[in-house]
Amino acid sequence: MTTLVRSLRTATRVPGAEAPYDTVHITVRYPARPPQDSVEEMSGMLQADPDGAPFPVVVLVSGVNVAADSYRWLAFELVAAGFVVVGYDWVGELFPGQYGLTPGVDIVAAGPDHYGERPTTPALAPVLEAVAALNESGQLAGLLDLDKVALFGHSAGGTVVLQSARPSWFPTVRAVVTYGAHTMASQMLGYPPGMLLPVPVSAPTMLIAGTNDGVVAASAIRYGEDPTSPDHNPIERTWREALPETTESWLVNLAGAGHLLAAHPEDPSTARGFLETPTDADPERLRSVLTDVVTTFLKVQLTGDPAAKQRLESLAETHPTDIADVRRR
């Protein structure tokens, strides 16, 4: 049976951000019941289907200049898998004097003088507070399990998630998944070449990468590295060196996948998809594999689903050809 997915929208302000760049627009997708009366039919505001509640919450954190709606395809899959899914759009400052869609990056907190003092994204706390308010009244009242939160971050969104999900800051985060993200430190922030920032995450973490990621390759210059060097693999290095040894950590490489695989349909007028290199890989099939890996991992960590545990173990041992490599520690 196909899950009926509906959306709630709200907004929140980010403390310390200057108007008009101080508002985050939030979309919450949830499993819904069909219209129960003419009021629901006319308004489109459908009640949540309580079967399976309380629902764990997954927050999708976008890449720079990638709209939250680009991850709608993944949100629908996650709702069908039993989660309520949150995305947000914030037009804010990317760098001094430069504005665009941002996951929220606190340049000072990410810099060498203050890294580790606070989250590098100021958006996550107010977004989670807004979601908690939705659990108090309306269609989702009492249906959210706010003690079981997962974060999925893409590109820079994944970077700030890795840098921010310290348990003392966000104790309800039970799992972290990223795609095309790492914690190499930009020289623009004052770091020396080749610097890798430690990841303060204790929740089980999965880093997913594409073997044909042209954006990560081209960005090597930001970190004082050679874009043409086969040794430039910041995602693998983040998995190997930056994550705590005590954190359950996974690295999954998707064969032939590019950086913008997670954003579909891609808007070619924004972000940096023009840096991608051609590939013969089938993006639809790869997104299907990405969905399987992400939902399986999140079901294990947030619900303890035994079938998902078995599936995750099998992926570690024998994986389809679209997955180039799976490692864990």
- Token pair, residue 85, equals 């899914």
* Average confidence (pLDDT) over 251-276: 96
Contact 122, 106 (CB under 8 A): yes
Decide if 121 contacts 64 (C-beta within 8 A): no
The pLDDT of residue 231 = 81
d(CA 32, CA 4): 5
Which phi and psi (to 5°) does residue 81 adopt?
A: -85, -5
What element of type H or E holds 145?
strand 144-154
pLDDT recorded at residue 226: 87
- pLDDT at 160 > cutoff 90: yes
Residues 201-240 pLDDT 10s: 999 999 999 999 999 999 999 999 988 888 889 999 999 9
Pairing of strands 249-254, 205-210: parallel
C-beta separation of 182 from 215 below 8 A: no
β-partners of residue 198 are: none
CA gap 288, 43 in Å, rounded: 33
Rounded distance between C-alpha atoms, residue 175 and residue 31, angstroms: 21
The one-letter amino acid at 316: A
Predicted pLDDT of residue 227:
82
CA distance 18 to 93: 10
Q: Angle between the 306-317 and 283-303 helix axes, to the nearest 10 degrees?
A: 130
Q: How confident is the model at residue 44 (pLDDT cuts 50, 70, 90)?
A: confident
Residue in the block written with tokens 């997954």: 58
- Measured between alpha carbons, how far is 268 from 277 in angstroms, rounded to an integer? 14
Verify cis geometry, omega within 30 degrees of 0, for the bond prior to 20.
yes
Q: How confident is the model at residue 95 (pLDDT cuts 50, 70, 90)?
A: confident
More confident residue, 229 or 176: 176
Domain 5-328 of CATH type 3.40.50.300:
no
pLDDT digits (tens, 9 = 90+) for 311-322: 999 998 888 899
| Domain range summary for the chain, segments of one domain joined by + | 5-328
* Residue 1, token pair as written in the block: 């049976």
Total number of residues shown for the chain: 329
The three-state secondary structure class of 107 is helix
**Mean pLDDT to the nearest integer, 62-79:** 98
Full-model pTM: 0.97
Whole-Å CA distances, 156 to 3, 63, 186, 260, 310? 31, 5, 12, 12, 31
Q: Give the H or E element holding residue 73.
A: helix 72-80
Evaluate if residue 165 carries a pLDDT over 90: yes
Strand order across the beta sheet in which 84-89 lies: 5-13, 23-31, 84-89, 55-61, 144-154, 173-179, 205-210, 249-254, 323-328
Contact 277, 260 (CB under 8 A): no
